[in-house]
Structure 1
């Protein structure tokens, strides 16, 4: 029987957790669905990644209001993907912050990504009719900027290309906690369809160099303690290398995309087949790894039409 396209068959409601990962720092997680971070300062709240729709973002707001009544002033977007950004309007924030590159990618491919992700993962777009349009950052930066929530300082940093070209992290030094977006995942497949495999490892090294005590990853459980943080970084690195290395080997000898698919499956299935969204991500990951190995530095834009073609060619 053919597999349902991407995550169209994933209709089961996930259990939400709201975990304190440091003083007044929270991770909103849901069994492998996209995570959201919450940073509470002296006078305001910062949200890291917004969810896919205002309705889903409302669930985050409910959790925030269970621990503070301070105003939500900032929404930080770790990257441009629709499932991370289209719920931003629900927070009523005065500023939406992202990297310069993230904003440029919204302009370049945000509409195509919205249509693509809506088709891939309909459950995450519950209440999609309430989305007012593309989410545009109101404040951007190139390498780093600091935001003060009263005395609490949050350092927003572009540490390098990884999941996308414009990824940023939020580092709260007073608690040694980092919100990484999809640069780090835990027991969830990395989506690499817009990624940069050869840069991603150095970006993971830059995260590790901060020696975080806790990480709120892009997907999967909150990670508290040095052992858990190191495990997640190591497993993310293994996932990336196990995807890119076989695909690059096939590309180097002039093999086909389908041969790269077979080689990646042989390497990854025994280790990662039980990870969240593994089958969903695999065709897009292999296609991007193969393209990058052939010298294509900028990922091709995924469209709803291209998604279907790729799925039929590899997962069909």
Structure 2
């Protein structure tokens, strides 16, 4: 998600047109959250990546697949628990759906239900994937294999990347956003850089990387994002040792990313260090 939750409703939702990413691979941008939706087409079936903010939007996305291919839609992958990637899943009740096992726990979380209510949805409108996994899952679409991989707690608890190694295309969900990543309350300041480090090992130097929001990037963009994000917990620790309170961190810290993008991550890092007993380091002399 590119920003904090707002009061958007079903009437503001819309979808763009499918644009080619590589042979048999497409993306479109769905509003109101400017979220990237992906489509992978094999010789036997197709796979949708994420499903929009509401069941109505999910249904429209499902119908739009026919504009690209006559191959049957096998199902949909949920890249993580943010509303704009997940809440449309009810439109796929008759198909298989795939996602990380933590979605089963997150669906009844107060923050999830509050997001649904803001969109005019109820718990009955939400779904969890029919096929969940803890680490990895492979799908065969005919002449094209797709890898679904959970690399750890990062942007959310449930992040999944969708890798198409034959085509050198990686759908990164909100682990990568262009131009900048966005920390939410569920994000892990230390887990996210570690996850990006593993992601770099998955892709070749000439890979096409499709962010959860924003224009397509390359493998170098992952490296750049990792470099900027890795400094967040270390800069926070420096401030804690210097006795700087969170309320003053925006002004006194040296941050490589816009403060509004990382504020929740810094808040979490402060809380984690407090829980670990990290406090101001007194001068030795």
Q: Which one of 208, 216, 235 corresponds to residue 210 of structure 2?
A: 216
Matches within 5 A, 1:258-297: 258-264=247-253, 267-268=255-256, 272=258, 279=260, 281-295=261-275
Query: Which structure carries more helix by proportion?
Result: 1
- Structure number with greater CO (CA < 8 Å, separation at least 6) is 1
Q: How far off is 1:90 after superposition?
A: 2.3
1:19-168 equivalences under 5 Å are: 19-29=19-29, 33-107=34-108, 109=109, 111-116=110-115, 119=118, 125=119, 128-129=120-121, 132-168=124-160
Alpha-carbon displacement from aligned partner over 1:226-246 (angstroms, at most 9, x marks no partner): xx3312x13422442454343
Structure 1 position 283, deviation (Å): 4.2
**SS of structure 2 residue aligned to 1:154:** strand
> Does the aligned pair in 2 maintain the 1:188–1:219 contact within 8 Å?
no
Which runs of 5 or more structure 1 residues have no equivalent in the other structure? 120-124, 273-277, 297-316
Give the TM-score normalised by the residue count of structure 1. 0.73
Unaligned runs of 5+ residues in structure 2 are 277-285
Q: For each residue in 1:278-305, what CA deviation from the matched residue of structure 2 results, as whole angstroms up to 9, or x when unmatched?
A: 74x4543332232233347xxxxxxxxx
Q: CA RMSD in A?
A: 3.1
Give 1:207 shift.
1.4
What's the CA shift string for 1:184-213, capped at 9, x where partnerless? Answer: 111144233211121222211221112241
Once the 2 structures are TM-superposed, how far is the Cα of residue 118 of structure 1 from its aligned partner? 5.8
Distance 1:229 1:118 in 2: 37
1:246 pairs with one of 232, 235, 242: 235
Q: Which is greater in Rg?
A: 2
Deviations 1:19-74 (A, max 9, x none): 32222111222597222111112222211111111233345335422111322221
